Structure 1
Amino acid sequence: MPTTSGSVTVSAPGKINVCFLVGPLLPSGYHRVASVYQAVSLLEHVTATATDEPGIGLTVEFTPGSVLAVQARRQLDSGVDLLAAIPRDATNLAARAAALVLAASDWDGGVRLHLSKAVPVAGGMGGGSADAAAALVACDALLGTALGTRALARLGEQLGADVPFALLGGVAVGLGTGTELTSALAPVPFHWVLLTAGFGISTPRTYAALDEHRQAVAGGPGPEHIPVPAPPAEVLHALRAGDPHRLAAVLRNDLQEPALTLAPRLRPVLAEGLAAGALAGIVSGSGPTLALLCADEDDADAVATSLGHRGLDAVPVTGPVAGAQILSRAGT
């Protein structure tokens, strides 16, 4: 049973889809997909604190020193408040996650969540999903529900397709709507440079643009008749071999062209990344974050430095990394 002074802090990673194939549109409004996820070292942190008052409170900050915090300060000078785009009410994924755990607990008080965000907002890296995964783990530890990995993953499926992977971390194949996960081998780290855009793209809008394009090209069958995809073996082989050159040749994201069409300013930025020395580049998820694959850590640092000198917000990261992890407990 928690105490009013108890708190738990949990980290959870953002992700890159090194391969993302989009299949038919389902009656639920989701698509069947075949995704190969890789968790990377850009982390969200959630602290859950038990309160005597029922309900869920939520505060948010951008992680001090992160590129997201720098972008937020820059845009605030221009009259744009990036933090304002993050809901503080019951619609926030982390708050929804906390509500699910509270419902399974014996605690008659509430929970206060503090989110420290470094993953781009609406950036195609699953930042909101990482918040939800961290909140699930933090509240489970805080409230003593001891739900276990499988039960937490099932709760995560209710919140969003990327939440179960943020719990799992590492590298995984995601089928169905992305929640049917199978871990994959990637024994050595891969090195990436993330180019963060400072603006978001609506994930539903990106999927809709893909469906519209496919129907226009096909001239007949709707998006519900697209074949069910399977993850390409060559992607998994490249990950298992730890070979960035081999992986660079097989990166694929079906949402890339729709994202670049919705945000055409990303095209020259992607070209700049390749010109700076990256092996390959890809839109992360539904965008607009761009992920540049590099040969090794030194090359990633050099590419990030070069792009930084050109005024771009570039962050070197590695992957795979672990999923949601408890970092600290106090008074529980």
Structure 2
Amino acid sequence: MKTRESYLFPFSAVLGQDELKSCLILTAVDPRISGVLALGDRGTAKTTTIRSLGQLLTAHGLNMPVVDLPLGASEDRILGTMDIQRALNGEVAFAPGILSDAHGGFLYIDEVNLLDDFLVDVLLDVSASGVNRVERDGVSHVHPARYVLVGSGNPEEGQLRPQLEDRFGLATQVRTIRDKGLRAEIVRRRIQFDDDAAGFSAQWADTEEQVAHRIVNARTRLPHVHTPAHTAQQIVDICIEAGAVGHRAEIVLTRTARALAALGGRDEVTRSDVIFAAVPTLQHRMVEEPRTRQTSGSTRVKLAAARVLGLRAA
């Protein structure tokens, strides 16, 4: 029987963070999108949302656990090291670390903008190769380490290194909700969950299952989703028009648009998929120039997409 502590707030019951939830779902459909960066106000359910998705996926047969990487974690704890207990018996063996635990799932870093430079370098090395190599204390070990990197934090408390920021496929701003009705409903749901976690979770079980099935079906469809040549060219043109830095933008935008098509039950990427995917893919990849500082990244991306596609900007 599950205890109160074993329940997490249901993913589908999280209210008011639709952009973050959409980004996380997309990375569950295609982990090669590589990650989600969620920066914004404290106390806006960033951590709750991320952990609850891991619970939903695991409960419905997708083994994508959420593994935390604490800011103060040691190198041994992250990379892995010699198994001391087996070493006492004269055996040289490897004790896996956090990166091994996260393989195939989500590696979650709260306050990612406060991460020590050494840990940033470690993550950059492993993220680039998808492999963790450990050579220390008489141990030589290599294991796969492919995970969806998820980071959250408040940008007022520190800036993120550009090299690490670029490793997040998608980025979203998480802000305090101003709507009075939504805020009241958030309070009601949270109190109800705290008073009766099992009962509240049961109320959302059907909705959770629907979300999980949608993700599972999209993962099955994804390999068959086609990106037409003219759509691929539009993706490149939008990245250029938006001033995206580097060439990772086009790859991530294509993958995200394909994941959106798969979620929608389509076998071909549409213009709407590209438009929807452009903001979370590009808004953290643009150089901020003096003349653009008064315009948000999301607005600049929308304007770029509108110019390329001949649309009226929203």
Same fold, TM-score > 0.5, yes or no: no
Q: By percentage of residues, which structure has more strand?
A: 1
The alignment's TM-score, normalised by the length of structure 1, stands at 0.27
Q: Higher relative contact order by CA 8 Å / sep ≥ 6: 1 or 2?
A: 1
The alignment's TM-score, normalised by the length of structure 2, stands at 0.28
Q: Max radius of gyration: which structure?
A: 2
